[in-house]
Structure 1
Amino acid sequence: MLERKLRKGRTEVTFVLPREVPPGPVSVVGDFNDWQPGVHTLMPRKDGKRAVTVELPADTTQSFRYLAAGDYWFNDESAGDREGCNSRLHT
């Protein structure tokens, strides 16, 4: 799931997943971090989910995927758009 907050000239996007599905560490990788795993790792939050927030420039399109333990790549179905095997979001 994606949560968005519009700010002046940028958008804060929070990537949210259930705490244990999939199990183990999960990071979000994409255009915004040069597809580097571990840069944006989802962390537990008080509501029982895990999340990470990334600041992105306004009016851009970003491709991304999640990477879980065991080299398990997956998409965010709530993104609503795809480019090949990647999820896409519009800020």
Structure 2
Amino acid sequence: MAIAKQYLKTKPICKVTFTVPASEAKKVEVVGDFNNWKPKGAALKKLKNGTFKGALNLPKESTFEFKYLIDGAYVNEIEADRYQWNEYAGSENAVLEL
């Protein structure tokens, strides 16, 4: 798994690209604070090599908790900026700091 951040010079946003190697998966979505944890419209595209990839434009100087939803199972990003305990979920969420 990987996250790439590209800060735009002309706008106060960061293009965040999520890459998830999950060749056996049928569906991978990224959910978090930025989309109210709703998987609708959050699907990553499956590439021919079995990797799922997608990008979001998020506001700079923000922090977001998120997870991947791989075939219905929540999975943390191993390269997250840090992790935050979430009492509601009873587990840690990956944190993206922009």
Cα distance in 2, alignment partners of residues 20 and 38 from structure 1:
21
Determine the structure 2 residue equivalent to 1:83: 84
Cα distance in 1, alignment partners of residues 76 and 40 from structure 2:
16
Q: Is the 8 A contact 2:67 2:93 kept in 1?
A: yes
RMSD: 1.4
The answer to whether residue 75 in structure 2 is matched with residue 74 in structure 1 is yes
Q: Is the 8 A contact 2:76 2:94 kept in 1?
A: yes
Trace 1:1-91 onto structure 2 (pairs within 5 A): 1-7=2-8, 8-20=11-23, 23-45=25-47, 48=49, 49-69=51-71, 71-84=72-85, 85-91=92-98
Q: Is the 8 A contact 2:28 2:52 kept in 1?
A: no
Q: Is the 8 A contact 2:77 2:94 kept in 1?
A: yes
SS in 1 for 2:65: strand
TM-score (norm 2): 0.82
Cα distance in 1, alignment partners of residues 7 and 81 from structure 2:
18
Rg larger in 1 or in 2?
2
**Structure 1, unaligned runs of 5 or more:** none
TM-score (norm 1): 0.88
SS in 2 for 1:79: coil
The one-letter code of the counterpart of 1:16 is T
Q: Which runs of 4+ in 1 moved over 4 A?
A: none
Aligned residues between the structures: 88
Cα displacement (A) at 1:19: 4.4
Overall identity of the aligned pairs, in %: 30
